[in-house]
Chain A
Amino acid sequence: MHHQPILTHQPRLKVLNRQQVLAIHTAALEILEKTGVKMEHEGARQMLVDAGARLFDGDWVRVPAYLAEQALQTAPRRIMLYDQNGAKAMDLRDDHFYFGTGSDTTFTLDLESGARRQCVLGDTGRFARLVDGLANIDFAMSMSNPQDIPKVEFIYVYTFAEMLKNTNKPIVFIADRKADMALVHELACLVTGGEENLRQRPFLLNYSEAISPLRFPSHVVDRLIFCAEKQIPICLPSGTNAGGGAPITLAGAMALGIAENLVGLIIHQLTRPGAPFLFGPNVSALDMKSTVVSYGCPEWSLTQAALADMRDELYGLPIWSFGGASDSKTVDAQAGAEAMFSITTAMLSRCNLIHDVGYLEYGNTSSLEMVTIANELIAMARHFTNGIPVNDDTLALDALDRVKAAGTKGIFLTDDHTFDHFESSLFLPHLIDRSRFDTWQAEGGKDLYRRSNDRARQILAEHQLHPEMDETLAKEIDQRLQALS
């Protein structure tokens, strides 16, 4: 008799029911229609008005809900990011998840001294190269706000070029205004050999921010429109942090963040229907003692799990989220606990593009060690998320018979079934230490921080890009940088 194979349930996290989803969405639409947003970009304001929005109090607009529903219809439900060699790398949709680093940290932990020091451009390169060498880190961001940029107004062009030289993986980039974004776009076109190639196989995604509550500065909307026109994938969360730019209650903060995101999406889709837009506000919380935006709090994990539920129930668009970060100042137990918490919950709720891996100090310090540790934590969480395949082979009744037949000497460790299956059945750690005490001590008694430091150094010393950047291209990029004025 032939049986259908048993499907493997892959554990999922769900934090909102449909009623909650609809209530938050309705509140977001009410914000668009009744409260309105401050649209400081003249062209976008006119675009909204032409589409049916109403102008009031100068540059405020009230936006009818149907524009949001229309934009949600025309935006693609899948964004494919390629690597710089033109191979498919990140298929952003449904339940697919990808992890990567974060952007502008002021400080980094020095790999040699361990000291917290200000970032330099070389750090952006080191992080990108590390990302390239880590199997579970899928994309690169700058991980630094370098202090040694000759012309600070082009800081994002320099960091983008530095990433290009040090990784072939997809890049999520920042820009300040339309001019530097256009320069980033030019560099990207050099890599792909032309604008049309880049359009066909985009390897970059822009991260821009409106300002909560309800404010859309002109230079931000410039970037949004530029990306729509060039079909550069973009996400536009506003700093909708509970207690700061948004209500302290997470439902209200989400409604506001979603409303703001929908306005961005509407402008984006009016500019160019079908252009790729990664959905999602960043809804973290302000710490009530220090007023920092927390990167280790359970609230942010909760709101993005909720957003994933809203994607599944309503929006259908791939979403932006965070994981693997911490508020701790050092690579310590707090850092590990917070990073693992957000990695696991982001994965279990199937967030799509998960950034900020390797942040310490609420995003103010980056750490190569943290990225290296997170790479392993992601593998661990992935193993859990893969679930338990159930079939004749994994139920292993034959193996049981063999071990039973071997009598008192029988042990599964010597059975062929173990040999055949241990690599797929178990998570085999590299950095996580399970050695016996004496072995651990003999190898220097190193804690996870030291071991991850060793590993990061090793990768930076040995890892080669496949391929390394072509010399002519590198020269061309350097010439462009030198020509900046």
Chain B
Amino acid sequence: MTYKALSEAVIKGDVNQAKAETQKAADGGADPQHVLDDCLIAAMDVVGEKFAQGAMFVPQMLRSAKTMQACVAVLKPHFRGGGMTTKGKVILGTVKGDLHDIGKNLVAMMLEGAGFQIVDLGVDVAPEAFVKAVHEENGQVVGMSALLSTTMPAMAETVKALENAGKRKELKIMIGGAPVTAEYADRIGADSYAPDAGTAVTEAKKLLNAQ
């Protein structure tokens, strides 16, 4: 099944319509993983393409992401056994000393919309707190942001802390923020640099070889 009405509602950002369509599909016995992968995430891929073409603006894309998340909430009780399969788990936070989180929050929403599971540690996250979260949450990607040049060194410290904790090899690390550059990512041994939220999604997919 293709669930055209649901796809369209997600693309349009019509939350009520999309939730109703999701409920209808679930009640009709649809496989929730199928609805998630082939309808909701597929719709968000269309949104991503439209945005890349300049045919959609950020608030419209975020509304679609919000709509998609509302649909996932409707689907959740219908997953049995192994539960929901996502594209991967991403642990996010602004680094120690940095309190600016608009960019990080955008990245979280966009990644969620693209089918990733997010663990948002918030702002001013110490290296040890990243390490702890990696231990507890079993995430595959750590995303860090910094707005200030004075807080950028905390990114390197966090990478070190993850190395010392023996977690570095099983992780992908992605960084971003105004003063951050691709060269800096290289220098501190991060795997990837994303200049904006859209790129964070493509980079996360690349890092995990996800579609």
Contact = CB atoms under 8 A, between A and B. Distances in A.
Nearest to B151: A176
A400 interface: no
Interface string B132-151: 00000000000000001110
A286 B119 CA distance: 26
A215 B196 CA distance: 24
B29 interface: no
B178 A215 contact: no
A145 B151 CA distance: 13
B150 A118 contact: no
A211 B147 CA distance: 12
B134 to A, nearest CB: 26
B149 A152 contact: yes
Main secondary structure of the interface of B (DSSP, over half): loop
Interface centre among B54, B148, B150, by most chain A C-beta atoms within 10 angstroms, is B150
Contact of A104 (B57, B58, B102, B149): B149
B148 A289 contact: no
Nearest to B103: A291
Nearest to B57: A288
Contacts of B51: 289
Contact of B102 (A152, A245, A248, A290): A245
Given A289-B54, A289-B57, A291-B197, A153 B150 contact: yes
A144 to B, nearest CB: 10
A215 B99 contact: yes
A243 B106 CA distance: 12
Contacts of B178: 106, 364
Contacts of A217: 99
Contacts of B57: 288-289
Nearest to B101: A211
B100 interface: yes
B16 to A, nearest CB: 23
Contacts, number: 43
Contact size range, A: 20 to 34
A176 B102 contact: no
Given A217-B99, A289-B58, A291-B106, A145 B197 contact: no
B179 A291 contact: no
B153 interface: yes
Interface in A50-93: none
A25 B47 CA distance: 40
A456 interface: no
Given A215-B99, A245-B102, A288 B58 contact: yes
B150 A176 contact: yes
Given A118-B181, A145-B179, A245-B102, A155 B59 contact: no
Interface residues of B, number: 21
A217 B94 CA distance: 15
A244 interface: yes
A87 B185 CA distance: 46
Contacts of B150: 152-153, 155, 176
Nearest to A40: B99
A286 B102 CA distance: 11
A291 B106 CA distance: 9
A243 to B, nearest CB: 8
Contacts of B196: 290-291
A236 B72 CA distance: 42
Interface string B98-131: 0110110010000000000000000000000000
Interface centre among B57, B102, B197, by most chain A C-beta atoms within 10 angstroms, is B102
B109 to A, nearest CB: 12
Interface of B: 51, 54, 57-59, 99-100, 102-103, 106, 148-150, 152-153, 178-179, 181, 183, 196-197
7 contacts: A106-B149, A152-B152, A152-B153, A176-B150, A211-B100, A288-B59, A291-B103
Given A286-B58, A291-B103, 20 more contacts: A104-B149, A106-B178, A106-B179, A106-B181, A152-B152, A152-B153, A153-B150, A176-B150, A211-B99, A211-B100, A215-B99, A248-B59, A288-B57, A288-B59, A289-B51, A289-B54, A289-B57, A289-B58, A291-B106, A291-B197
